[in-house]
C-alpha cells in the first residue's frame, strides 16, 4: 500500500476482537522493532497475549477492550527521548497497520506494563495493538492554514507533508504544531507551549511529514 493510503487508513482503535496475533505477524513486528531500536537508540519492547497492562481501572475508563498486545516505548533518559519515541513509535504503528492490525497510542489509560527497564531508562508511552472490532473513524481536524504557511505557491511535496501531518495522532487530538517553509527546502516545525505529550506528538507529526513529503525534498531546520 502507498504510504499516504496507509496514513489515511490509520485511526485510533481501542476495542479489539479476541483474535490472537499470529506468530508470523508478531515476528515481523518484533524484527522491525529491533531495527528501529538500533536506528533510534531505543529499547522498544512488544508484548503479545499479556492482558494485565490494560486490566486497570484507567484502561476500563478509557474503554479499552481485549487490549492484550502492546508496544512499550522505552529509552535512556535524554532531552530528545520523547520526540524519538514519537517518531519511531509511529513507524511501528504504520507497520502494524500495514500488517492488518489496529492500534492506539496510550499515555494515561493503561495499567502497569510488563516491560523491563534499566535504572537510567524511562517508559515513555504504550501503544496498544490488535485486530480492531472496527477500523476506527475520521475525527475533527485543524486545517492546513491553521498549522502551516502553505500557499498557492508552495511546492507540492510541502502541501502533501502537511496533509499527512494533519492525519497524525496527537494526545487528545490537540494538533498543537506549526510548520514553516524557509527558502526552497528548509522546514521548521514547532509545537505549542502548553498541552500534554507535546514532544511525543512532535515526533509523530515529523514522522508523517517526512514519509509524505519525501526526505529527499527538504531538510529540517
Footprint of ligand FMN on this chain (CB under 6 A)? 11-12, 14, 62, 104-109, 125, 136, 139, 169-173, 197, 200-201, 204
Q: How far is the CB of 153 from ligand FMN (least distance, A)?
A: 29
Task: Specify the residue, 32 or 54, whose C-beta has the smaller distance to ligand FMN.
Answer: 54
Query: What is the DSSP track for 105-173?
Result: EESSS---------TTEEEEEEEEEE-BSS---------HHHHB---TTS-HHHHHHHHHHHTS--GGG
Q: Please give the Cα distance from 196 to 193 (Å, whole number).
A: 10
Q: How far is the CB of 186 from ligand FMN (least distance, A)?
A: 26
Task: Specify the residue, 60 or 116, whose C-beta has the smaller distance to ligand FMN.
Answer: 60
Grid cell, residue 90, equals 509511529
Q: How far is the CB of 151 from ligand FMN (least distance, A)?
A: 26
Q: How far is the CB of 167 from ligand FMN (least distance, A)?
A: 7
Q: Please give the Cα distance from 61 to 84 (Å, whole number).
A: 28
Q: How far is the CB of 204 from ligand FMN (least distance, A)?
A: 6
Task: Specify the residue, 151 or 173, whose C-beta has the smaller distance to ligand FMN.
Answer: 173
Task: Specify the residue, 47 or 218, whose C-beta has the smaller distance to ligand FMN.
Answer: 47
Residue 202's closest CA among 214, 187, 216, 183? Answer: 187
Q: Which residue of the chain is nearest ligand FMN when measured via CB? A: 169
Task: Specify the residue, 150 or 204, whose C-beta has the smaller distance to ligand FMN.
Answer: 204
Residue 12's closest CA among 124, 132, 98? Answer: 132
Contact (CB, 8 A) for 68 and 54: yes
| Strand 186-191 with 219-220, pairing | parallel
Task: Specify the residue, 94 or 204, whose C-beta has the smaller distance to ligand FMN.
Answer: 204
Q: How far is the CB of 8 from ligand FMN (least distance, A)?
A: 10
Q: Please give the Cα distance from 25 to 111 (Å, whole number).
A: 25
Amino acid at each position: 500500500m502507498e504510504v499516504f493510503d496507509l496514513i489515511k487508513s490509520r485511526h485510533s482503535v481501542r476495542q479489539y476482537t479476541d483474535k490472537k496475533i499470529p506468530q508470523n505477524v508478531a515476528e515481523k513486528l518484533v524484527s522491525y522493532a529491533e531495527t528501529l531500536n538500533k536506528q533510534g537508540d531505543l529499547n522498544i519492547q512488544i508484548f503479545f497475549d499479556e492482558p494485565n497492562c490494560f486490566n486497570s481501572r484507567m484502561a476500563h475508563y478509557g474503554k479499552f477492550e481485549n487490549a492484550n498486545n502492546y508496544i512499550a516505548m522505552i529509552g535512556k533518559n535524554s532531552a530528545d527521548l520523547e520526540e524519538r519515541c514519537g517518531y519511531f513509535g509511529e513507524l511501528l504503528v504504520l507497520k502494524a497497520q500495514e500488517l492488518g492490525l489496529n492500534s492506539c497510542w496510550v499515555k494515561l489509560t493503561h495499567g502497569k506494563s510488563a516491560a523491563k527497564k534499566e535504572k537510567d531508562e524511562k517508559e515513555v508511552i504504550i501503544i496498544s495493538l490488535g485486530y480492531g472490532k472496527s477500523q476506527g473513524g475520521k475525527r475533527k481536524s485543524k486545517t492546513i492554514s491553521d498549522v502551516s504557511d502553505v500557499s498557492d505557491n508552495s511546492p507540492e511535496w510541502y502541501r502533501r507533508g502537511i496533509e499527512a501531518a494533519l492525519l497524525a495522532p496527537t494526545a487528545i487530538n490537540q494538533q498543537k504544531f506549526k510548520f514553516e517553509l524557509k527558502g526552497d527546502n528548509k522546514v521548521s516545525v514547532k509545537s505549542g507551549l502548553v498541552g500534554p505529550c507535546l514532544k511525543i506528538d512532535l515526533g509523530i507529526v515529523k514522522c508523517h511529514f517526512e514519509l509524505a513529503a519525501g526526505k529527499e525534498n527538504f531538510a529540517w531546520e
